[in-house]
Structure 1
Amino acid sequence: MPSILPTVTHVRHHVFVLLMLREIHCFTRVAARLSFSAAAADLGMSQPAMSQAVSRLERATGLRLFQRTAREVRLTAEGRALLAHAEQVIDAVGAFTAEAGRLARPTIHLAYPPLVGALAARVVRRLAARTPAIGVELLPAGRGAAVRALADGEVSAAIVATPAPAGLVTAARFHVTVDHLAVPVGHRLESSARVAPADLAGQVLLMPGSRPWARLPGRSRLVADDDFAAALDLVAAGAGLLPIPHLLVRTVRREDVRFVRLDAGDLRITYALAWSKERVTPELMALVQAVQDALWTR
């Protein structure tokens, strides 16, 4: 039955790697440059210190890693065989250090509608650049999913279409203008340069459930908030026309839907950053500030 305890050989191996990590790094650098002086300059060391580090590794392994002459430095066969393993050690240490740094960094989770993804990305960059840095995990979600994630504690905050549900604190409000209309291919309005509200009489309009726009004529069919992809499927199927923001027009490419300009006055969706008042942290307050700053410096 194999022992569950580490063998003496395993212990020696791990101790060797720990003690020789600096020397292994020096070995890989000399192998890359084939020059002790150049490798030393890369690592900010003196040339004698670099030679001593490689010599220590050679003594520890019992192998000669380089052939040195007055004119050149070459890897031995043993050195070539060990180089890939040495590089894996260095890469693993780098990955370990990076992951440890990421885990030690405060992280906040933010839900956002894909429509305002550019804003969410700016917020992530701002918080990553501050001191100390704050990591942000993004969760693309429509209004309903974002509110549920807030209630379940899966996210610290969410950018949601207003009005926000009762009990949530909101800040950093901003507006997205609704100035286009999605129509199915072949619809009589497809070739219109501009559509006025009067042109919508008798049409079925797909409206967000939380904010139907009373000023538009026609019959309303309520759809899920912020789920524009599903609403566009309904448009393509001939179930109705969809007022949408220009932000979406710039990113959507569909062969079965056309977008025409909608002149309906001050038609807009208002968004806000929302969070639970019971879950306020310094990182959350930094997020609020970052969203506000990102809105002011577009």
Structure 2
Amino acid sequence: MLREIQCFARVAERLSFSAAAAELGMSQPAMSQAVTRLERATGTRLFERSAREVRLTAQGKALLPYAEQVIDAVRAFSDEAARLARPTIHLAYPPLVGTLAARIVRRLANRTPAIGVELHPAGRGAAAQALANGEVSAAILATPAPAQFVTAVRFHVTVDHLAVPAGHRLAARPRAVAADLGGEVLLAPGGRPWPGLPGRSRLAGDDDFAAALDLVAAGAGLLPIPHLLVRTIRRDDVRFVPLDAGGLRITYALAWSKERVTPELMALVQAVQDALWTR
């Protein structure tokens, strides 16, 4: 019955048995026979046929939306079955490196055989806990990662801007240097003080830079921040000042549990390496 419904919907779309047959790789007589079988099974006449044209009957018009729903449901079933049958990696990552995570997904989807990736945006603490609990296969973590995990594929994110409140004394500066930060409170997302910078560090929970900007706007402190985030954020209450702090950076690594190594995980490691080395 499904094949007959597909034939009916295609003829209804083209209003041509020959065109519909060609699209489905069938002969015109076979297409006509399929529609006739459906008409007999339903007890309705679906098309008015003449030598010059094909038209839907009133019954055909009424049944067409249902035929399309059946076809869509079958397609969705097939797609979901294929997805479930495909090996899947669950990857936790900080939103800061979301662009890299997207590249990893595309690379694994395009390999043969394809590997699916479920992305889980999470701060360092939540990602490490999910990894320890086996809820994710791997995580991109700021280093040093917890000692129980295996790490590889380290990479650096340069921190070259400073987020300050709109009315702050540094807001109008063309550039800030480390010496300008003496006496300031520096927000430290993820609980890691900024090495080599003067001022007092205030731990800002998980490594969520977007949330830390709310603290900046409220006057709770200043936030060293990577340029790749500066490009994506627009706020009237915060100013981003270029920061010359002598190579300040955050180092990340791919981490996983040594007890849960699979071929798919090794493919993920390779995909991360490839995504970092080729843009």
Aligned-residue offset at 1:61: 1.8
In structure 2, the residue matched to 1:166 is 147
Match of 1:201 among 136, 161, 182: 182
Q: How does 1:140-151 map to 2 (within 5 A)?
A: 140-151=121-132
Amino acid at match of 1:224: G
Match of 1:56 among 26, 37, 59: 37
Whether 1:138 and 2:119 are equivalent positions in the alignment is yes
Q: Percent identity?
A: 83
Q: Larger C-alpha radius of gyration, 1 or 2?
A: 1
TM-score relative to the length of structure 1: 0.91
Aligned-residue offset at 1:209: 4.9
**Aligned with 1:220: secondary structure?**
strand
Amino acid at match of 2:197: L
CA distance in 1, matches of 2:55, 2:188: 72
In structure 2, the residue matched to 1:4 is none
Aligned-residue offset at 1:192: 0.4
Moved more, 232-241 or 168-177: 232-241
Aligned-residue offset at 1:239: 1.3
Give a deviation string over 1:119-150, Cα, whole Å, max 9, x none: 00000011111111111110101101100111
Q: How does 1:1-298 map to 2 (within 5 A)?
A: 20-298=1-279
CA distance in 1, matches of 2:14, 2:210: 53
Amino acid at match of 1:239: A
CA distance in 2, matches of 1:150, 1:24: 47
TM-score relative to the length of structure 2: 0.97
**Aligned with 1:214: secondary structure?**
coil
Give a deviation string over 1:188-242, Cα, whole Å, max 9, x none: 0000001111111111111245532231111222222421122211111111111
Give a deviation string over 1:158-209, Cα, whole Å, max 9, x none: 0010000011001111000000001011100000001111111111111245
Q: How many correspondences in the alignment? A: 279
Contact map agreement 2:189 2:212 (CA 8 A) in 1: no
**Aligned with 2:163: secondary structure?**
strand
Moved more, 219-228 or 161-170: 219-228
CA distance in 2, matches of 1:106, 1:177: 34
**Aligned with 2:151: secondary structure?**
strand
Amino acid at match of 1:197: A
Amino acid at match of 2:80: E
**Aligned with 1:175: secondary structure?**
strand
Contact map agreement 2:191 2:204 (CA 8 A) in 1: no
**Aligned with 1:269: secondary structure?**
strand
Task: Sort the Cα spacing of 1:48 and 1:161 in 2 relative to 1 into closer, same or farther, 3 A.
Answer: same
Amino acid at match of 1:188: R
Contact map agreement 2:124 2:190 (CA 8 A) in 1: no
